[in-house]
Amino acid sequence: MKGRLAVLLPVWAWLLVFVAAPAAILLAIALAEADSGVPPFRLAWSLTGFATLAEDRYYLDAVLTALRIAAMTATGCLLIAYPMAMGIARAAPGRRMLLLALLMLPFWTGFLLRVGAWIGLLRDQGWINGMLMALGITEAPLPLLYSEGAMLVGMVHSYLPFAVLPLFAALLRLDPTLGEAAADLGAGPATAFVTVTLPVTAPAAAAGFLLVFIPAAGEFVIPELMGPPEAQLVGRVLWQEFFQNHDWPVAAALALALLLLLLVPIRLFQRLEARP
């Protein structure tokens, strides 16, 4: 029992200071009133911050846009991830390790560098426009960067491995005799895939979707660097409220609102993970 206490007590202390306390402070500041002092708020029991969110359409739009972009990112990731996961799961063990390494290596090379690479490809003097003009397909550069499409490409690229991994694990676990049983009962490959493989791996696909959706909903960097100026996603708006407008109560309220919205997908994901 003494050993237990010695192990758990430091962790409890750390968690209370660095996880629980920040949450409480976030709530307190969301309920505070904006002020021009340093720090720029006055503790109070005020709903001004939340009222601002509710009254101004701008914030609601920011949340909705973020959810829409996150859903599109997750869908795009799943579409690309499914055949990749199938191919990796089907490969011989030695080759499978190589493919998994190829999948995870970009993850280790730095997220901002990959964003930088996409900027280099997509911008007006970028690689793609350079190619298109050299080949005479276009005369003037196409406005590829700073668009919703560019932002989505960047996000799908960043989050793709998170969608592949749960699908790969599920496909590897998938009993190969299920597919054989379907074939034995008269199902051709396409039918067997749709009636057996797809539904059996659906929970993993849902987990992959959420694994992308949850972080993508709060994404700040890619919309900032690759998105159009009007793409005001909630992560970007929060950042601006805090760093540019110095409206801490609104930023805190926005953080709490985002958290509340993500609670449902987060619970759903944990439920999926807890399945046997």
Residues 101-120 that bind other proteins (CB under 8 A): 101-103, 105-120
Under rule CB under 8 A, residue 54 binds other proteins: no
Binds other proteins by CB under 8 A, chosen from 44, 51, 56, 90: 90
Tokens representing 114? 């990959």
**Are 167 and 82 a contacting pair, CB within 8 Å?**
yes
Burial (Cβ within 10 Å: 0-12, 13-18, ≥19) of residue 224: middle
Least distance from other proteins to the Cβ atom of residue 58, Å: 17
Name the segment binding other proteins (CB under 8 A); options: 3-11, 48-56, 57-65, 135-143.
Answer: 3-11
Q: Which is nearer to other proteins, 60 or 179 (CB)?
A: 179
DSSP H helical ranges for the chain: 2-15, 21-30, 48-55, 57-90, 93-108, 111-122, 127-134, 148-173, 176-184, 189-192, 198-217, 221-226, 234-243, 248-274
The backbone torsions φ and ψ at residue 67, rounded to the nearest 5 degrees and listed phi first, read -65, -40
Under rule CB under 8 A, residue 132 binds other proteins: no
Tokens representing 146? 């700073």
Under rule CB under 8 A, residue 184 binds other proteins: yes
Identify the three-state secondary structure at position 42.
Answer: strand
Least distance from other proteins to the Cβ atom of residue 144, Å: 13
Least distance from other proteins to the Cβ atom of residue 151, Å: 14
Name the segment binding other proteins (CB under 8 A); options: 49-57, 136-144, 182-190.
Answer: 182-190
Binds other proteins by CB under 8 A, chosen from 71, 200, 228, 240: 200
Rounded to 5°, the CA angle 175-211-114 comes to: 110
Under rule CB under 8 A, residue 199 binds other proteins: yes
Number of residues located near other proteins, criterion CB under 8 A? 101
Under rule CB under 8 A, residue 83 binds other proteins: yes
Distance separating alpha carbons of residues 12 and 216, to the nearest angstrom: 30
Beta strands in 164-262 (DSSP E): none
Q: Which is nearer to other proteins, 7 or 54 (CB)?
A: 7
Binds other proteins by CB under 8 A, chosen from 44, 137, 202, 264: 202
DSSP 62-114: HHHHHHHHHHHHHHHHHHHHHHHHHHHHHS-HHHHHHHHHHHHHHHHT-HHHH
Binds other proteins by CB under 8 A, chosen from 19, 92, 135, 140: 19
Distance separating alpha carbons of residues 206 and 167, to the nearest angstrom: 9
| DSSP letter, residue 143 | -
Under rule CB under 8 A, residue 193 binds other proteins: yes
**Are 212 and 74 a contacting pair, CB within 8 Å?**
yes
For other proteins, the binding residues in 229-268 under the rule CB under 8 A are 235, 238-239, 242, 248, 251-252, 255, 258-259, 262, 266
Binds other proteins by CB under 8 A, chosen from 100, 121, 132, 142: 121
Binds other proteins by CB under 8 A, chosen from 7, 44, 54, 194: 7
